[in-house]
Amino acid sequence: MQSEADLEPAIRRVIFGDKDESVVAPARPMSIQQRDVVASLAEPPVAKAAQILWYQSKALELMAHFLFAPKIRNFLHAAKRVARERVERVKELLARDLANPPALEALGQEVGCSQFYLSRIFRAKLG
């Protein structure tokens, strides 16, 4: 759960600091997650009747992204998680039709990596 200590420093100063202070935070590039949320706004994946609720949830999601300082993540941990997710996805794809498995190149495209990298991580995870 996030707390006021997790707020961006400029936001924290505005909310809890001097009420007369005007703060403009320096611009910074959007993260990949922020860009993904913004890109999803063009085509809501829900029925017309649910779009208002969907857009409200996306507004809240963007507020969380912009108002709270990002957690610093360990790159190595993230890379291992992505590799594990790719291997699990490939296992699902292979299980669909064991008699006619897709080509390694097609599997790599499906999970977002090269066939060479996929072969390496698949062998490392499953032997």
Q: What is the pLDDT along the chain (127 residues), one digit of tens a residue?
A: 567 777 777 777 777 776 666 667 677 787 778 888 899 999 999 999 999 999 999 999 988 888 886 666 667 777 888 898 999 999 999 998 889 999 999 999 989 999 999 999 999 988 7
C-alpha distances in Å from residue 35, one per residue of 21, 38, 62, 65? 30, 5, 10, 10
pLDDT for 25: 66
pLDDT for 48: 94
Q: How far apart are CA 125 and CA 119, in angstroms?
A: 10
pLDDT for 18: 65
pLDDT for 1: 54
pLDDT for 11: 75
Q: How far apart are CA 17 and CA 21, in angstroms?
A: 8
pLDDT for 13: 76
Q: How far apart are CA 40 and CA 58, in angstroms?
A: 9
pLDDT for 126: 87
Sign of the CA dihedral 116, 120, 126, 127?
A: positive
pLDDT for 29: 80
pTM of the model: 0.46
pLDDT for 78: 78
